[in-house]
Chain A
Amino acid sequence: MKRRDFMQMSGMGLGALMFPSVPLIGNPVSAEHLMEPWLDAAAKKQLSETALNAAKSKGATYTDVRIGRYLQQYVFTREKQVQNIVNAESYGIGIRVIVNGTWGFSATSDVTPDGIAKCAATAAAIAKANSKFQKEPVVLAEQKGVGDKTWKTPTVKNAFEIPVKEKIDLLMNVNGAAMDNGAGFVTSNLFFVNEQKYFASSDGSFIDQDIHRIWPTFTVTVIDKAAGKFKTRDAISSPMGMGFEYLDGVTSEKIPGPNGLVGYRNSYDMVEDAIAAAKQAKEKITAKSVMAGKYDLVLDPNHLGLTIHESVGHPTELDRVLGYEANYAGTSFATLDKWESKNFNYGSKLVNIVADKTQPHSLGAVGYDDEGVPCKEWDIIKDGVLVNYQATRDQVSILGEKESHGCCYADNWNSVQFQRMPNISLKPGTEKRSVLDMIKGVEKGIYIIGRGSYSIDQQRYNFQFGGQVFYEIKNGQLAGMLDDVAYQSNTQEFWNSCSQICDKDDYRTFGSFFDGKGQPSQVSAVSHGSATTRFDGVNVINTGRKI
Chain B
Amino acid sequence: MAILTKEEAKKIIDKVLAYSKADEMSVGLSGSRTGNIRYARNSVSTSGETTNLSLAVTAVFGKKSGTSTINEFDDASLEKTVRRAEEIAKLAPDNPEYVPMLGPQKYLDINSFSESTAGITPDYRAQAAFDSIDPCVKKNLTAAGYLEDTTGFSAIGNSKGLFGYNKSTSIDFSITVRTADGKGSGYAARDFNDASKLSAKSATEVAMQKALASSEAKALEPGKYTVILEPTAAVDLLQNMMGSMDARNAEEGRSFLGKKGGGTRLGEKLFDERVTIYSDPQNLEIPGSPFGGGGGRFGGGGSDGRPQEKVVWVEKGVVKNMYYSRYWAEKKGVKAIAPPSGFIFEGGTQSLADLIKGTEKGILVTRLWYIRAVDPQTLLYTGLTRDGTFYIENGKIKHPVKNFRFNESPVIMLNNLEAMGKPMRASGNLVPPLKIRDFTFTSLSDAV
Bound-state CA distance A15–B294 (Å) is 8
Chain B interface size, as a band, is 35 or more
Bound-state CA distance A18–B304 (Å) is 10
Closest CB in chain B relative to A95 CB, distance in Å: 10
Chain A residues whose C-beta falls within 8 Å of the C-beta of B43 in the assembled complex = 133-136
- A20-B296, A459-B447 known; A547 vs B411 contact (CB < 8 Å): yes
Binary CB contact string for chain A from 319 to 352 against chain B (1 if under 8 A, 0 otherwise): 0001111111011010000000000000000000
Chain A residues whose C-beta falls within 8 Å of the C-beta of B333 in the assembled complex = none
Name the contact of B297 in the complex, choosing from A21, A28, A227 (C-beta under 8 A): A21
Query: Is the CB of B382 closer than 8 A to any CB of chain A?
Result: yes
Binary CB contact string for chain A from 130 to 164 against chain B (1 if under 8 A, 0 otherwise): 10111110000000000000000000000000001
Q: Contact: B253 with A228, CB < 8 Å? A: yes
Name the contact of B48 in the complex, choosing from A106, A184, A544 (C-beta under 8 A): A106
Chain A interface size, as a band, is 35 or more
User: Which interface residue of A126, A416, A490 has the most chain B CB atoms within 10 A?
Assistant: A126
Bound-state CA distance A315–B28 (Å) is 42
Q: Which residue of B lies closest to A394 (CB)?
A: B45
Q: Contact: A28 with B446, CB < 8 Å? A: no
Bound-state CA distance A83–B407 (Å) is 34
Q: Contact: A20 with B148, CB < 8 Å? A: no
Chain A binder among B4-12, B85-93, B273-281 = B85-93
Name the contact of A17 in the complex, choosing from B53, B58, B84, B129 (C-beta under 8 A): B58
Query: Is the CB of A458 closer than 8 A to any CB of chain B?
Result: yes
Chain B residues whose C-beta falls within 8 Å of the C-beta of A323 in the assembled complex = 40-41, 142, 144, 178
- A14-B302, A27-B71 known; A9 vs B295 contact (CB < 8 Å): yes
Name the contact of B52 in the complex, choosing from A102, A414, A539 (C-beta under 8 A): A414
Q: Contact: B52 with A228, CB < 8 Å? A: no
Query: Is the CB of B119 closer than 8 A to any CB of chain A?
Result: no
Q: Contact: A456 with B48, CB < 8 Å? A: no
Q: Which residue of B lies closest to A227 (CB)?
A: B260
Closest CB in chain A relative to B60 CB, distance in Å: 12
Q: Which of chain B's residues 296-316 have a Cβ closer than 8 Å to chain A?
A: 296-298, 300-302, 304
Query: Is the CB of A38 closer than 8 A to any CB of chain B?
Result: no
Q: Contact: A457 with B370, CB < 8 Å? A: yes
Closest CB in chain A relative to B320 CB, distance in Å: 18
User: Which interface residue of B47, B270, B371 has the most chain A CB atoms within 10 A?
Assistant: B47
Q: Contact: A81 with B97, CB < 8 Å? A: yes
- A29-B84, A225-B261, A326-B40 known; A126 vs B49 contact (CB < 8 Å): yes
Bound-state CA distance A12–B92 (Å) is 20
Name the contact of B444 in the complex, choosing from A81, A130, A462 (C-beta under 8 A): A462
Bound-state CA distance A109–B407 (Å) is 45
Chain B residues whose C-beta falls within 8 Å of the C-beta of A184 in the assembled complex = 252-254
Chain A residues whose C-beta falls within 8 Å of the C-beta of B42 in the assembled complex = 135
Query: Is the CB of B70 closer than 8 A to any CB of chain A?
Result: yes
Chain A residues whose C-beta falls within 8 Å of the C-beta of B365 in the assembled complex = none
Name the contact of A461 in the complex, choosing from B34, B44, B256, B446 (C-beta under 8 A): B446
Query: Is the CB of A196 closer than 8 A to any CB of chain B?
Result: no
Q: Contact: A33 with B380, CB < 8 Å? A: no
Q: Which residue of B lies closest to A492 (CB)?
A: B446
Bound-state CA distance A228–B298 (Å) is 37
Chain A residues whose C-beta falls within 8 Å of the C-beta of B439 in the assembled complex = none
Query: Is the CB of B369 closer than 8 A to any CB of chain A?
Result: yes
Bound-state CA distance A414–B50 (Å) is 7
Q: Which of chain B's residues 18-45 have a Cβ closer than 8 Å to chain A?
A: 28, 30, 34, 36-38, 40-45
Q: Which of chain A's residues 445-492 have a Cβ closer than 8 Å to chain B?
A: 453-462, 464, 466, 484, 486, 488, 490
Q: Contact: B178 with A464, CB < 8 Å? A: no
Q: Which of chain A's residues 149-208 have a Cβ closer than 8 Å to chain B?
A: 164, 168, 184-185
Q: Contact: A129 with B375, CB < 8 Å? A: no
Q: Contact: A230 with B148, CB < 8 Å? A: no
Q: Which residue of B lies closest to A20 (CB)?
A: B300
Q: Which residue of A lies closest to B375 (CB)?
A: A543
Q: Contact: A185 with B254, CB < 8 Å? A: yes
Name the contact of A28 in the complex, choosing from B56, B256, B442, B443 (C-beta under 8 A): B56
Chain A residues whose C-beta falls within 8 Å of the C-beta of B52 in the assembled complex = 109, 414
Closest CB in chain A relative to B235 CB, distance in Å: 15
Query: Is the CB of A125 closer than 8 A to any CB of chain B?
Result: yes
Chain A residues whose C-beta falls within 8 Å of the C-beta of B444 in the assembled complex = 462
Closest CB in chain B relative to A407 CB, distance in Å: 16
Binary CB contact string for chain B from 172 to 186 against chain A (1 if under 8 A, 0 otherwise): 001110100010010
Name the contact of A453 in the complex, choosing from B51, B130, B374, B448 (C-beta under 8 A): B374
Q: Contact: A326 with B47, CB < 8 Å? A: no
Q: Contact: A519 with B377, CB < 8 Å? A: no
Q: Which residue of B lies closest to A226 (CB)?
A: B261
Query: Is the CB of A262 closer than 8 A to any CB of chain B?
Result: no
Q: Contact: B375 with A545, CB < 8 Å? A: yes
Name the contact of B372 in the complex, choosing from A223, A229, A454, A545 (C-beta under 8 A): A454
Q: Which of chain B's residues 111-145 have a Cβ closer than 8 Å to chain A?
A: 122-123, 125-126, 129-130, 133, 142, 144-145
Q: Contact: B69 with A27, CB < 8 Å? A: yes
Name the contact of A462 in the complex, choosing from B129, B374, B384 (C-beta under 8 A): B384
Q: Contact: A324 with B41, CB < 8 Å? A: yes
Chain A residues whose C-beta falls within 8 Å of the C-beta of B373 in the assembled complex = 453
Chain B residues whose C-beta falls within 8 Å of the C-beta of A526 in the assembled complex = none
Q: Contact: A327 with B378, CB < 8 Å? A: no
Query: Is the CB of B359 closer than 8 A to any CB of chain A?
Result: no
Q: Which 4 A-B pairs have the closest CB atoms?
A: A228-B260, A20-B300, A27-B69, A326-B144
Chain A residues in contact with chain B, CB under 8 A? 4, 8-9, 12-21, 26-31, 33, 80-83, 85-88, 102-109, 122-123, 125-127, 129-130, 132-136, 164, 168, 184-185, 221, 223, 225-230, 232, 322-328, 330-331, 333, 414, 416, 418, 453-462, 464, 466, 484, 486, 488, 490, 519-520, 539, 541, 543-547
17 new A-B contacts, CB < 8 A, other than A17-B58, A21-B300, are: A20-B302, A26-B69, A33-B84, A82-B95, A88-B69, A106-B50, A107-B48, A126-B49, A135-B42, A232-B376, A327-B187, A331-B178, A333-B446, A462-B405, A464-B374, A545-B380, A547-B411
Chain B residues in contact with chain A, CB under 8 A? 28, 30, 34, 36-38, 40-54, 56, 58, 66-71, 84, 87-88, 91-93, 95-97, 122-123, 125-126, 129-130, 133, 142, 144-146, 148, 154, 174-176, 178, 182, 185, 187, 243, 246, 252-254, 256, 258-262, 270, 294-298, 300-302, 304, 325, 369-380, 382-384, 386, 403, 405, 407, 409, 411-412, 442-448
Q: List 26 A-B contacts (CB under 8 A).
A: A16-B56, A17-B294, A18-B295, A18-B296, A19-B302, A20-B300, A27-B71, A81-B93, A82-B93, A126-B122, A129-B123, A130-B122, A133-B126, A228-B261, A230-B254, A323-B178, A327-B144, A327-B187, A328-B146, A416-B46, A418-B46, A455-B382, A462-B405, A519-B36, A543-B380, A547-B409
